[in-house]
């Protein structure tokens, strides 16, 4: 019997409605999507679910999206990380790139199909 595992995605945003909306949209596209509402919860979820991708808000209290992305890439090097922001902060991304990390930074207004294609779910 062939495996029919769906692509796993963890969506992180301190605004619950936004995280849940993206999860619902990714599920509609066939993904197995999980919501987390802070960086700490996202890390625990990533360790247990081992997702193929993490989609995270850039600006969150506590562990922000960039800090979360760095830890995820260290612990799950094959995991695709996409950061979302209403006001893209290229300075933060440039800082990460200087440290050897490379993440996609997209506007939160991204369409579900475009997001799924970016994370490799389609």
Tell me, yes or no, whether 1 lies in a domain: no
pLDDT value, residue 17: 96
The answer to whether the CB of 87 falls within 8 A of the CB of 105 is no
Flag whether 98 is in a domain: yes
18 contact partners, CB below 8 Å, separation of at least 6? 57, 108
Summarised one tens digit per residue, pLDDT across range 84-93 is 887 656 676 6
For residue 88, give its domain range.
8-119
Helix (H) or strand (E) holding 36: strand 32-36
Span 3-26, pLDDT tens digits: 568 899 999 999 999 999 999 999
Is 40 a member of any domain?
A: yes
Tell me the CATH number at 79.
Answer: 3.40.50.2300
């Amino acid at each position: 019997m062939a495996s029919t595992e769906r692509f796993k995605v963890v969506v992180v945003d301190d605004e619950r409605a936004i995280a849940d909306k993206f999860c619902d949209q990714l599920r509609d596209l066939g993904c197995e999507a999980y919501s987390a509402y802070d960086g700490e919860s996202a890390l625990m979820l990533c360790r247990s679910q081992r997702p193929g991708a993490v989609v995270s808000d850039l600006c969150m209290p506590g562990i922000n999206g960039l800090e979360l992305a760095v830890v995820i890439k260290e612990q799950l090097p094959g995991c695709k990380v996409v950061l979302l922001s209403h006001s893209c902060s290229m300075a933060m991304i440039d800082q990460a790139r200087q440290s050897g990390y490379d993440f996609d930074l997209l506007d939160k207004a991204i369409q579900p199909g475009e997001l799924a294609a970016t994370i490799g779910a389609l």
